Structure 1
Amino acid sequence: MAADRPRPRPAGRSGNPAVRGGAQPPRPAPSRPLEPLRKEVDPGLLPADGAPYPLALRNAETVWWRSVMGALLGLSLYAVLVGLVNLLVIRVAWTLTHPVDYRTYYTQAIAYERPSGLLASNLAIAVLIPIALVLVLVVHRARTRWLFSVLPGVRWRYLLACLGTSAVVFVGIQVVSTVLEPSGSVGPQTGFWLFLVVIVLTSPLQAAAEEIFFRGYLMQSLGSVVARPWFGVVTSAFVFALLHGTQNLALFVNRLVFGLLAGLLVWWVGGLEAGIAAHVLNNVVAFVGAGVTTSIAALRSVQSLTWAQSGIQILAFVLAAGLALLVARLMRLRNRVDLAATRVTS
């Protein structure tokens, strides 16, 4: 008896009941891992590959008049909004406490005889941060991360390292200055602890806001006008010094040199972190030092420096900048735009 053999299937039929007429079932498409959908940023809105930080807002759509308009609009908003926020905070503080009549309270507050005056000033200057971010988005149609560094974005490890080195420099200079020019008494002024809370919580915000606007937006917008990094560094430093009000030549030079050094530092390291750190520590140490030696109000009223005092402070700026550069070298930070290493997705 012959062994059972498989019977041949009739032509035109398939083992799959869903397929008839001899057609073969379709092969399934090879599976691919699902990838998140990403929207590519318009290359025309990116800075040029290899551009230094002061030119990071300059792209294929940049025209000189738009950059000038952005800078003027930013300064106009600064003049209007800073004053309004200052008045608003002082008015709210007076309404909640009513210690004296409003005119007397306002005069005391703006002289920093009351903590609410320092709080109002710091919060008012902090509006420079949203002003800068909005101008980058609306006027330049660029991503706000380029305002902070060529990474783009904040390089947090570098910022923390610069806060440490700046603390060493400015605390040391404050101690030396106190020894060389003793005030005659050391002890916290009246109401110092409430002042200290305001200093710790809001002075870093105020200092960061000035750096983001002056060394960030203003320097980038003016630098993109002529496509020369030095132009943005120099002009933003002059504007920064001029907007600090009444000051003698030594104090003006002091602030101008700080602006120039901070601008050069931003250019050389490719971001705002070192300038923010130096500005924060300079202000915090100065206010705390005044609060335990003379008074916050005495520091607020300073409109002049001797050349020796100015020189000591400039030395502190130079030391802080030198240490920040050294840290940047050790961390091997890049200081120019590198589009190949940057994720340009939104």
Structure 2
Amino acid sequence: MYIEQGYKGDLGLWKYLIIPGCFIGLMIVNYIAILYSPVSVEDTMAQMVKALGSNVVLIIVLAPLAAGLFMVLGWTKLVHSQSITSLTTSRKRIDWKRVFFAFGIWGLVTVVLTFVSIYFSPEDFKFNFKLIPFLSLAVIGLLLIPLQTSFEEYLFRGYMMQGLGIFAKNRWFPLLVTSVLFGLMHLGNPEVEKLGYGIMVYYIGTGFFLGIITLMDEGLELALGFHAANNLFGALLVTADWQAFSVESLYRDVSQPVLGWDVLVPIFVVFPILLIIFSKKYGWTNWKDKLAGKVLSKEEFLATQKEKIV
């Protein structure tokens, strides 16, 4: 009963509109600015990297999102009077083993897929290892990327999932809306400009995957671990001049950017396999009800909580 955890705080439509509304508004303004800018996103990023260095630019990109995490958590605690634990999970306490399991398994998959790509297409990659810049990247990444990804998870799969679910009284609507909005949030990324709107299949598909594991597992832990591993290992292993994280990674992708199998395989092959692994490990059942069933009313939810206590 993850969505119903929102009943443990003070409800109110206006309270749920402000944080998501401000963030979505900023994304819209940013996207419009990109559309009408005479300079491409790739060129803008290249100029910033040249002037400031890739690691400084990475801090500039990540810092506002990292700060956003504390805004969402603070708003939940102070305005909704809801505990961070109930925003995170339906369990009595946050299950960090789940976070680290998802982080580890997706980190391993990312490493394997990356080196498979390098093995079969060595001409597309240039070894880019430079000790000091790489160590600096690693420190920055370890400090800021988990905060950035946690912000996105707490905003979309946490705060918005609970709020939309409670007001819609079902599970499919918040899953659909948060997944699509999560994908649309990436419209301003340079990858979209370079690869075209087809890349949105990956972003929206990833949003659905993260939403599914959140609802099936009744908590954010798996999504938090997966998302952190996805961005951290991605930044450390391979970069390209046209990517959002153009940094001092181990390898640099020097191939001509095209929308290929690497976008579709995770969505239609790897993610379903991960769902099977997670479902077997954590005993997921009743998929239809958990993904598309109704959300209990506050009275029904409180009644179930009393039964557990008894």
Answer whether TM exceeds 0.5 for this pair. yes
Q: Describe the SS at the equivalent of 1:142.
A: coil
In structure 1, how many angstroms separate the alpha carbons of the residues matched to 2:2 and 2:120?
39
Tell me which residue corresponds to 1:153.
Answer: 93
Matches within 5 A, 1:177-196: 177-182=117-122, 183-188=124-129, 191-196=133-138
Where 1:153 maps in the other structure, the secondary structure is: coil
Question: Which amino acid is the alignment partner of residue 265 of structure 2?
Answer: I
Code of the residue aligned with 1:161 in structure 2: it is: F
Aligned to 1:289: 237
After TM superposition, give the deviation of residue 241 of structure 1 in Å: 0.9
Distance 1:132 1:341, change over 3 A: farther
- The match for 1:74 among 15, 19, 26 is 19
Residue 181 of structure 2 aligns with an amino acid whose one-letter code is V
Shift of 1:253: 1.1
Task: Please list the CA deviations of residues 266-304 of structure 1 after superposition, one character each: whole Å capped at 9, or x if unmatched.
Answer: 0000111111111111111211122xxx54x443279x7
2:244 corresponding residue in structure 1: 300
Kept in 2: contact 1:214–1:240 (CA 8 A) = yes
Cα shift at 1:262: 0.5
SS where residue 271 of structure 1 aligns? coil
Q: CA contact under 8 A between 1:110 and 1:118: conserved in structure 2?
A: no
Deviation at 1:321, TM superposition (A): 3.5
Name the residue aligned to 1:278: 226
2: distance between equivalents of 1:124 and 1:61? 27
CA separation in 1, counterparts of 2:50 and 2:167? 37
- Maintained 8 Å contact 2:10/2:82: no
Check if 1:204 corresponds to 2:152: no
In 2, the alpha carbon distance for the partners of 1:191 and 1:155 equals: 34
Q: C-alpha separation between the residues in 2 aligned to 1:270 and 1:110?
A: 45
Quick one: distance in 2 between partners of 1:78 and 1:179? 40
Q: Which moved more, 1:136-145 or 1:253-262?
A: 136-145
Instruction: Please point out which of 256, 277, 297 is paired with 1:323.
Output: 277
Q: 2:5 aligns with which of 56, 65, 73?
A: 56
Match of 1:310 in 2: 263
TM-score by length of 1: 0.64
Alpha carbons of 1:134 and 1:199: their partners in 2 closer, same or farther (altered >3 Å)?
closer
TM-score when normalising by structure 2: 0.71
Structure 1 counterpart of 2:197: 249
**Considering only CA atoms, is the larger Rg found in Structure 1 or Structure 2?**
1
**Structure 1, unaligned runs of 5 or more:** 1-51, 83-103
Shift of 1:238: 1.1
Q: Once structures 1 and 2 are overlaid, which stretch shifts more, 247-256 or 188-197?
A: 188-197
* Deviates most, 73-82 or 221-230: 73-82
Do residues 108 (structure 1) and 48 (structure 2) align?
Answer: yes
2:66/2:148 contact within 8 Å kept = yes
> Displacement of 1:173 after TM fit?
2.0
Q: Which runs of 4+ in 1 moved over 6 A?
A: 79-82, 335-338
1:339 to 302, 305, 308: 305
Q: Which amino acid aligns with 2:63?
A: L
- Whose helix fraction is larger, Structure 1's or Structure 2's? 2
Is the 1:81–1:127 Cα contact (8 Å) retained in structure 2? no
Change (3 A) 1:342 1:127: farther
For 1:205, give the aligned amino acid. L
Looking at structure 2, the residues matched to 105 and 257 of structure 1 have their Cα atoms a distance apart, in angstroms, of 26
Q: Is the 8 A contact 2:5 2:162 kept in 1?
A: yes
Q: Supply the RMSD in Å over aligned alpha carbons.
A: 3.4
Report percent identity of matched pairs. 20
User: 1:216, 1:319 → 2: CA distance?
Assistant: 24
Deviation per residue, 1:136-192 (Å, 9 max, x gap): 235544333211100143112222222222222222222223334432422326933
Contact 1:269 1:328 in 2 (8 A): yes
Note closer, same or farther for the CA distance 1:142–1:204 as it changes in structure 2 (3 Å cut): closer
CA change 1:111–1:235 in 2 (3 A) is farther
The amino acid across from 1:53 in the alignment is Y
Question: Quick one: structure 1 residues 271 and 108, their matched pair in 2 at CA, closer, same or farther if it must change by over 3 Å?
Answer: same
Q: Displacement, 1:201?
A: 2.3
Deviation of the 1:231 alpha carbon: 1.1
Per-residue deviation, 1:197: 2.0
Q: Which residue of 1 aligns with 2:109?
A: 169
Q: Give the gaps of 5 or more residues in structure 2.
A: 28-43, 247-256, 285-289, 291-295
Q: Return the alpha-carbon distance in structure 1 between the equivalents of residues 215 and 222 of structure 2.
A: 11
State the match for 2:173 in structure 1. 231
SS at match of 2:6: coil
